[in-house]
Structure 1
Amino acid sequence: MSLFNYNTLSVSLSKETRSIVVELNRPEIQNAINTEMIFELETLFTWVSTHIEIKTILFTGRGDYFCKGLDDEEFSTWSDEKKQKNFEKLQKLVYSMFYLPQTIIVDLKNGAKGLGLELAMGADIRIANHEAEMHFNHLQKGIVPSCGGIGFTSALFSNGAVRQWLLASKKLNATELLNNNIILESYKEESTASSYLQTISNQPDIPRIQAKRSLLEPIMEKLDKTLEWEKTFSLAGMCTNDWREIAKFGSEAQCTTAKELSSKLKVEREQQLSN
């Protein structure tokens, strides 16, 4: 039975390990993120921030997949204003994961894509099935990563690696995820998440919380700067609404070329000068 009456999340509590398990609960579309899920995550994070007796939060997905990113059907209907508002909310959710007193684990199961991948970057520990793939498919979706996909990920890993993964729309398999320290462990059959919950439950609260906070200190400045500059480049990179066309029509979408945008901006500039 879920701890809260959510529609897109299932939350269960373990008194034994003083942990909660949060399942993204939209398995029919690989647990895609929609506006309702963003709202429910916001209310959940507000609740856990005031319950420091909880030691661990385990995020996973219902079914065999963590999260495919955005719900394309809903995404295609978003206005520019709603898109930016929801992206900012997601960015702040991922940012807040670094500051929550709980140790956060994400079980990627068979993988994640796009904004689902960005959500996973807020975790302290990530594990995955040995057949998992993490797909940096943002640009194929017409999305400039703006929920930590560039800033937070670069703070955790090397900027050079993140540059290649994003610009190549790279799929990383479980071995590559291990080699790049994106996941701590891959498992073959049963998830090993429960063993981590048990181990962390035996750690005293104060040293655990202070260790997490101390580990944040070297990257805190980068995280704070990310909040602003990711937004700037996201607005610029998504101004043509290619993201909406791709969400609607997929590979058949007609996207704006750089030359077309340049010509449009030139005409607009000339009109402004003439007025």
Structure 2
Amino acid sequence: MNYQTVKVAKESATLSITLNRPQIGNAFNTVMRDELFSVFGLIEWDTEIHSVLLYGSGKNFCTGADLTEFGTSPSLIQAREIRKQRDLWTLMMKCPVPIISAIQGKCIGSGVEIALLSDIRIASEDAEFMLPEPSLGLIPAAGGTQTVPRTVNLGHAFELLLTGKTISSNVAHGMGLVSRVVNITNLTKEASEITNYINKTPRHYLSLLKELICAQWTGRSHHI
């Protein structure tokens, strides 16, 4: 299937998804949302897939929401209904296989929130992270107020969410936002090595393990 804003490739048991709007820093728009929703919706049914690898095309991972779309929805009610119907964030959170994000360059706003819906994040030395919503008078719309405190301690979460300041990959690593920092030339290789280890594990075990790990946040422990 051909997409406008993402590239998708299946290599062995790994599904590689590349955010593909490099001319504008892979800015997240409604077309990208719908295409990612379609791709992640297929993962549940393709049992050959054991891992997902998420990249950004060009120099950046994702520079945040496409601001040219702000205020273009016909109505707030309609926008809310569309978000419910195409709830990408919940779909990613419930993805039955591990998601690994390989982050380079700028990772801003929606980019941070997409990365935080991944299970493992590695970053290049040049990566920068920022949640700019406070300076815009906005609240992170893709679950950042939930996923940031789940990922880092509460003090770091407040700092990231309230100040909107930019942090380096090394600072992000110190906070626990990413699990490792690598040279940009090794980013793809390091990410692929992680998926190679994961792909050796049966898919049903990966799904169960993810559910057990996430049970403390999803409230689903009583089903396990």
Query: Higher helix share goes to which structure?
Result: 1
Residue 32 of structure 2 is matched in structure 1 by 37
Q: What letter matches 2:152 in structure 1?
A: F
Question: Which runs of structure 1 show a deviation greater than 3 angstroms over 4 or more consecutive aligned residues?
Answer: 82-90
Query: What displacement does 1:123 show?
Result: 0.3
Provide closer, same or farther for how the CA distance between residues 79 and 134 of structure 1 changes in structure 2, counting only shifts above 3 A: farther
1:116 aligns with 2:111: yes
TM-score by length of 1: 0.73
Partner letter of residue 111 of structure 2?
Answer: G
The unaligned stretches of length 5 or more in structure 2 are none
Query: What's 1:206 paired with?
Result: 204
CA distance in 2, matches of 1:54, 1:194: 14
Selected match of 1:105 from 97, 100, 123: 100
Q: Partner residue of 2:9?
A: 12
| RMSD of equivalent CA atoms | 2.0
Partner of 2:16, secondary structure, is strand
Query: Structure 2 counterpart of 1:190, which letter?
Result: N
Which residue pairs with 2:216 in the alignment? 218
Count matched residues.
Answer: 216
Q: Secondary structure at the match of 1:21?
A: strand
Larger radius of gyration: 1
- Over 3 Å counting, the alpha-carbon distance change for 1:112 and 1:20 in structure 2 is same
| Residues 79/116 of structure 1: CA separation in 2 closer, same or farther (3 Å cut) | farther
2:73 corresponds in structure 1 to 78
3-state secondary structure, aligned to 1:203: coil
Residues 187 and 86 of structure 1: CA distance in aligned 2, closer, same or farther (over 3 Å): farther
Match of 1:232 in 2: none
1:164 deviates by: 1.5
Q: Secondary structure at the match of 1:151?
A: helix
Q: Which amino acid aligns with 1:202?
A: K
Quote how far apart the aligned CAs of 1:76 are. 4.3
Structure 1 window deviating more from structure 2 (114-123 vs 198-207): it is 198-207
Structure 2: distance between partners of 1:174 and 1:94:
24
Which residue is equivalent to 2:18?
A: 23
Task: For residues 205-250 of structure 1, give each alpha carbon's deviation from its aligned partner in whole angstroms, at most 9, with x where no partner exists.
Answer: 333222111101111139xxxxxxxxxxxxxxxxxxxxxxxxxxxx
Structure 1, 158-167 or 102-111: larger mean CA deviation: 158-167
